[in-house]
Amino acid sequence: MARLFSDKSSVRVLDVGAGTGLTGVEVGGLKFLHAHKYARNLQNSYDAVCIVGSFGPGAIPPSALSEFARVIKPGGYIVNCMREEYIWTVPQYKDKLVPYLEDMEKQGLIQQVEWYTYPGHYQDKAGVRMVYRVC
């Protein structure tokens, strides 16, 4: 998130699936204007949505990505960090999450900025950081 915005003082960030609240604390510590845990019912209200560890078994469905795109201002970002293995092992994501993202891109709703796999997301499990710009 920090490298996506040069001036953080006016950036509104939505922390989705806030869980322990640690992500919100980190985002707030980066001096972003807001790190809300709950979405307002307003379209184009936020500059970014941050999702860390909330795409998992029985959690956020792929269709929620459309809602995230709806509440983000054009030019804003969806940042999702999740266990990589969940993309192909969790039934609600297997053969669904990636095609959903691809379909959103084809519709011109989002554009992929980054798809990065990294070690140690959770213990010895690899993670994936997905960054999409909202069109």
Domains and CATH numbers, the chain: 8-134 (3.40.50.150)
- Mean pLDDT of the region 104-118: 98
Convert 69-101 to b/e letters by CB count within 10 Å (16 or more is b).
bebbeeebbbbbbbbbebbeebebbeeebeebb
17-43 pLDDT, tens per residue? 765 655 655 666 665 655 555 555 578
Point out the least confidently predicted range of 12-16, 23-27, 84-88, 110-114.
23-27
Predicted confidence (pLDDT) at residue 93 exceeds the cutoff of 90? yes
Point out the least confidently predicted range of 11-25, 27-41, 81-95, 111-125.
27-41
Listing DSSP states for 4-17 in one string gives: T-S-GGG-EEEEET
Do 135 and 109 meet the contact criterion of CB atoms below 8 Å apart? yes
**What percent of the chain is predicted at pLDDT more than 90?**
64
What's the whole-model pTM score?
0.85
Q: Give the pLDDT confidence score for residue 30 in this predicted structure.
A: 60
Q: Give the pLDDT confidence score for residue 95 in this predicted structure.
A: 97
Token pair listed for 116: 């990065």
The residue with greater pLDDT, 111 or 8, is: 111
- Mean pLDDT of the region 86-112: 98
